[in-house]
Amino acid sequence: MNEAAQRLGVSLRQTEDELTRNMLASTASFINCTGGTNGDNPTNLTRTDVDEVIKTLADNNAYTIGQNIEGEDKFGTAPVRDAYFAMGSTKLIGDLEDVDGFIAKAQYPAPMNAMKPEWGSISNLRFLLSSIGSITSSGSALGNDVYNIFCVGMEAFAVVEQDGYSSQFIYRPPIYDGPLALNASVGYKFAQVPRITNDAWVINLRTTLA
């Protein structure tokens, strides 16, 4: 029972994430990476593309989400700017680390201020990666997978809870299941609507791998 509850809990939260991801993929405006050299459209990720997204969000008066992390006198570290969040796939890890100005989480002066899924930062963009990050399969001009990096400012999107609740974990013991009390039921349900609140503060930075 404990294991079932744990697994269902993960499933619940992951499903919420997937729905929000799919909402962003359906409706957010996008910028194709064009600074790379892989010959595709979009290209692989470069510093030029990161700068373009930051500039666009700043032009649209989006607030940054992450606080700056002040520099400290520690070997190999660098200060981290206040930043917008960029949510993408873990398959981007290699490409991210090749971008000019990439600072790995381990190089933050205070890594404890980073979040679990955070991989690092580039300029004013901090990258949060997930195995369920958005991918448009065969979406590029040459037919390669396109990785959608949702770059967001503060309060750019929200999840609205419906019917007065977020989610419910449901357990029915065997006695309610049948005359022989053979089967128990566990499950969850939730009623939520993900929604962009200001489209100018969300940009899907589309990229292919190098």
Judged by the rule CB under 8 A, the positions of this chain that interact with other proteins are 19, 22-23, 25-36, 39-43, 137-143, 160, 172, 176-178, 183, 185, 193-196, 199-200
Q: Rounded to the nearest whole angstrom, what is the least distance from the CB of residue 171 to other proteins in the complex?
A: 12
**Nearer residue to other proteins within complex by CB, 31 or 65:** 31
Q: Rounded to the nearest whole angstrom, what is the least distance from the CB of residue 51 to other proteins in the complex?
A: 15
Work out the widest C-alpha separation in the chain, in whole angstroms.
70
C-alpha pair distances (Å), 18 with each of 131, 139, 197, 199: 11, 19, 18, 19
Burial 149-168 (b: 16+ CB within 10 A, else e): bbbbbeebbeeeeeeeeeee
Q: Rounded to the nearest whole angstrom, what is the least distance from the CB of residue 175 to other proteins in the complex?
A: 11
* Number of other CB atoms surrounding residue 131 within 10 Å: 9
| Cα–Cα distance, 3 to 111 (Å, whole number) | 31
In sequence order, the β-bridge partners of residue 188 are 169
Q: Rounded to the nearest whole angstrom, what is the least distance from the CB of residue 67 to other proteins in the complex?
A: 29
**Nearer residue to other proteins within complex by CB, 40 or 118:** 40
CB 165 within 8 A of CB 191: yes
**Nearer residue to other proteins within complex by CB, 28 or 80:** 28
**Nearer residue to other proteins within complex by CB, 33 or 122:** 33
**Nearer residue to other proteins within complex by CB, 25 or 65:** 25
The DSSP output letter for 83 is B
The two tokens of residue 101 are 């100005």
Q: Rounded to the nearest whole angstrom, what is the least distance from the CB of residue 114 to other proteins in the complex?
A: 30
